[in-house]
Amino acid sequence: MKTPHHESVLSRAARILEAFNQDEPALTVSEVARRADLHVATASRLVGELVAHGFLSRDDDRRLRIGVRLWELVTRASPTLSLRDTAMPFLEGVHDVVGHHVQLGVLDGDEVLFLERLSAPASVVNFTRIAGRLPLHASSSGLVLLAHGPADLKERILAAPLTAYTSATPTAPSRLRALLAEIRQRGYAYCPGYIHSEALGIAAPVRGPGGRVVATLSVIVPNDANAQTVVPVVRTAARGFSHALGVRDAPEVASGR
């Protein structure tokens, strides 16, 4: 147990909440304690307080879940809420045309965080989830955000060991630098089989006032010859989304940074 004695109660409570994920949304107190690196007695006490405030809830079998109260507070005050609301007509329009996954992503730390996803039952395989994350180097949304991101972010990602999900995943720094330059020049990312061999990602930048890239609009479609026909749909929707955010002339080509 490595938890420092001087650590604040808030830090410990944050680690308890971070113990839950989409694959394992229900945990026992013992599992929470292990994942949060806390003594069971400490975890049990903090869990009791979080349950009392509605931030956690208990199932009939005493397993814990994230509480509805926490979702309510986060949704009410979320800085991404207006972005998502503005995006929805454009996401829905693309989804009506494409019939596969359509996503809204933003940069968060060294990953792309997905705020929304529209899908259909017969859609191609996709690892993305709402509130899920993917690495910048392997996803179409991530590559767009990286291409238009600050120089220190690029250098940090390029210097790190990068996971290859398939043989097509770009992991070599030289290949990534060339790919990022190409994305800035042509205005979109086109990623065949980067995360799954059967899927292809296409993403275009969404710009806010001042022309800064604030999000991406992306699709995941089958990795076949028809995918190229989707590119104009994605780019047109991203430009419309940018206009809705207050950009009068969203540039086709960004100034390479």
Domain tally, the chain: 2
Q: Is 97 left (phi over 0), alpha (psi -120 to 50) or beta?
A: alpha
Distance (Å) of CA 27 to CA 24, 56, 70, 106: 7, 11, 17, 29
- Which CATH number covers residue 15? 1.10.10.10
- Residue 157 counted as domain residue: yes
> Residue 137 is which amino acid?
H
Indicate if 141 and 63 belong to the same structural domain. no
Residues 90, 242: Cα–Cα separation, whole Å: 10
pTM to 2 decimal places: 0.77
Query: pLDDT 10s digit of each residue in the chain, 257 long?
Result: 445 557 899 999 999 999 998 778 899 999 999 999 999 999 999 999 999 999 999 998 899 999 988 877 877 766 677 888 899 999 999 999 999 999 999 999 999 999 999 998 888 887 777 778 999 999 999 999 999 999 999 999 999 999 999 999 999 999 999 999 999 999 999 999 999 999 999 999 999 988 999 999 999 999 999 999 999 999 999 999 999 998 876 555 443 33
Is residue 163 domain-shared with residue 55, that is, in the same domain? no
